[in-house]
A and B are shown apart, each in its own frame.
Chain A
Amino acid sequence: QKEVEQNSGPLSVPEGAIASLNCTYSDRGSQSFFWYRQYSGKSPELIMSIYSNGDKEDGRFTAQLNKASQYVSLLIRDSQPSDSATYLCAASIWSARQLTFGSGTQLTVLP
């Protein structure tokens, strides 16, 4: 069973703090990893992708991948109330030709 696991939260952080979102995956064949943000009532939108071990930074967002530990994380620096959303972790396996999603972590940034 291919699975992607996330803490469902809710996770609350004060404005300006660092929000840390974590994800583990079970299939070692997973090759690409994604973080999607989903606002309430809206569809998921891609915010970060990562393909190799290490860190990838884009503005206030940093994705971290550790394939040995089968672990992916997303750090949001200087969190803003507009970052309040559900964050979905996803992993793709080329042989399966599909993306597997976690159940999401609900983040609330308190003003």
Chain B
Amino acid sequence: ETGVTQTPRHLVMGMTNKKSLKCEQHLGHNAMYWYKQSAKKPLELMFVYNFKEQTENNSVPSRFSPECPNSSHLFLHLHTLQPEDSALYLCASSHSWDSGVNTGELFFGEGSRLTVL
């Protein structure tokens, strides 16, 4: 298994659909992240989980709902999205910031390309 796996890789949905993005990491990390990447913009941090607890919600609209059932899995539930939400959604993991071994390095999955019609 590769380090950080995201599914699906591509998703097309209508504005009234409900879908979910899934992320799984096999690196033994305890921190997981959702980032949004739009064209010509910096990576935008959306959510951070540390040991399954959400530690950051970067003013993300409620139509994005994260879930972290354990340190290895992270979901992003999508509901009533807008066309401007079309982007590449990247999951990442790292050692916990409290672990003493965190260097700040993030390990990214391949991303889920979302298109909202």
Interface residues of A (CB under 8 A from B): 4, 8, 31-32, 34, 42-46, 49, 51, 88, 90, 92, 94, 97-104
Q: Is the CB of A94 within 8 A of B97?
A: yes
User: With A43-B109, A98-B48, A99-B104 in contact, is A8–B40 under 8 Å at CB?
Assistant: yes
B99-117 toward A: CB 8 Å interface, digit per residue (1/0)? 0000111111111000000
| Residues of B with C-beta under 8 A to A88 | 43
| Residues of A with C-beta under 8 A to B97 | 94, 97
Q: Is the CB of A101 within 8 A of B43?
A: yes
Q: Is the CB of A103 within 8 A of B40?
A: yes
- B interface: dominant SS: loop
Q: Is the CB of B105 within 8 A of A34?
A: yes
| Residues of B with C-beta under 8 A to A101 | 42-43
Q: Is the CB of A97 within 8 A of B41?
A: no
Q: Is the CB of A92 within 8 A of B40?
A: no
| Residues of B with C-beta under 8 A to A97 | 48, 50, 55-56, 97
Interface hub of A94, A97, A102 (most chain B Cβ within 10 A): A97
| Residues of B with C-beta under 8 A to A44 | 43, 90, 106, 108
| Residues of A with C-beta under 8 A to B108 | 43-45
> Is B87 an interface residue, CB under 8 A from the partner?
no
CB-CB nearest in chain B for A43: B108
Q: Is the CB of B111 within 8 A of A43?
A: yes
CB-CB nearest in chain A for B43: A101
